[in-house]
Amino acid sequence: MAQLKVAALAGGVGGAKLADGLAQILPPGSLTVIVNTGDDFEHLGLRICPDVDTVCYTLAGIANPATGWGRADETWQAMETLGALGGPTWFRLGDRDLGVHLERTRRLRMGHPLSRITRDFCRSWGIQHTVIPMSDDFVPTWVYTNEGELGFQEYFVHRQCHPQVTGFRFEGIENARPAPGVVEALRAANLVILCPSNPWVSIGPILAVPGIRQAIEEPRKAVVAVSPIIGGQAIKGPAAKMYRELGIEPTALAVARHYGSLLSGFVIDTVDASQSGEIQAAGVQTLSTAAVMKTRADRARLAGEVVEFGRRLAVQG
């Protein structure tokens, strides 16, 4: 097809890396990144949007390369002062990062929608591609564990994912609406990519926003997921641990089954190539390649392979 239109669903660090790869190879106007906001929470009186910030910082080239989240060249004076006064420092907020949360919170309090704030921040950061939060409604993820229900960041950062997970709740998701531009981008896309983010708490919330899954399932588009599980492990984060605690062996096949009928294609790492047959038996075509992204060049290479794979599937119809 002439002009390929891609919509990519992304969560945290892994999703941001592939989004960066896609942004390196696709012209602005051909790529919309739809970002999970289930990780968002109110902390120190501020609205923190970790996955939106991780995607934007990564696309702007200002992300902390060591952690993947937060800013590069960061300083920690505010956190030091807060800690010295007995405040909570378990969620590390650098001085530059704090400036973003202050301005976002200020504008949210004025009634500006998160999607408009994000668009303006992208402009300020020189990001050419379109980044849209999945919804302008606040739909924080809660994690059911053997120690009770925990807010996502309480589970993920404060408790370092130790509690045993038994389920999730996306608060208010049934009344949430896709942010302006999300359904339009999905409808216009001939390729939808589910980035290698946590299927439970990064991609799951996006698909749970009423209207989003339906827009993806409309005909004449290819839907390709990139497995976040490689060799039974997640590259980063608790995805494999969550599968195990929910009674599912963490494999690429398990992820393909998790996304089910949504998928036309599934990208797995070569270490999992032996699972291709079972995945194809489920009606999903597979691409086996080097799926670990260590460098920015890796991100662009993998993105190129995913786009070519998706283009072939889209042509097949």
The interface region with ligand FO1, picked from 11-19, 26-34, 165-173, 286-294 by CB under 6 A, is 11-19
- Cα distance between the two ends of the chain: 12
Cβ atoms < 10 Å from Cβ of 111: 6
Helix (H) / strand (E) containing 16 = helix 13-25
Q: How far apart are CA 185 and CA 179, in angstroms?
A: 11
Rounded to 5°, the CA angle 237-246-291 comes to: 40
Please spell the DSSP secondary structure of 108-175, one letter per residue.
Answer: HHTT--HHHHHHHHHHHTT--SEEEESBSS---EEEEETTEEEEHHIIIIISTT-SPEEEEEETTGGG
Q: How far is the CB of 12 from ligand FO1 (least distance, A)?
A: 2
**Token reading at 92:** 């590390």
Q: How many residues at the interface with ligand FO1, by CB under 6 A?
A: 17
Residue 157 makes contact with ligand FO1 by CB under 6 A: yes
Residue 91 makes contact with ligand FO1 by CB under 6 A: yes
CB 149 within 8 A of CB 143: yes
DSSP state of 202: I
Residue 154 makes contact with ligand FO1 by CB under 6 A: no
Residue nearest to ligand FO1 (CB): 12
Tell me whether residue 88 is exposed, middle or buried, using C-beta atoms within 10 angstroms of its C-beta: 0 to 12, 13 to 18, 19 or more. exposed
CB 86 within 8 A of CB 79: no
CB 188 within 8 A of CB 16: no
The interface region with ligand FO1, picked from 25-33, 85-93, 163-171, 268-276 by CB under 6 A, is 85-93
Q: How far is the CB of 158 from ligand FO1 (least distance, A)?
A: 9
96/301 with CB nearer ligand FO1:
96
The interface region with ligand FO1, picked from 80-88, 152-160, 225-233, 247-255 by CB under 6 A, is 152-160
Residue 153 makes contact with ligand FO1 by CB under 6 A: yes
Of residues 41-80, which lie at the interface with ligand FO1 (CB under 6 A)?
Answer: 50-51, 53-54, 69-70
Residue 125 makes contact with ligand FO1 by CB under 6 A: no
Interface residue with ligand FO1, options 7, 8, 12, 288 (CB under 6 A): 12
Cβ atoms < 10 Å from Cβ of 202: 28
Interface residue with ligand FO1, options 121, 155, 156, 243 (CB under 6 A): 156
Q: How far is the CB of 79 from ligand FO1 (least distance, A)?
A: 9
Interface residue with ligand FO1, options 97, 136, 269, 272 (CB under 6 A): 97
Interface residue with ligand FO1, options 81, 92, 218, 294 (CB under 6 A): 92
Q: Which residues bind ligand FO1 (CB under 6 A)?
A: 11-13, 39, 50-51, 53-54, 69-70, 91-93, 97, 153, 156-157
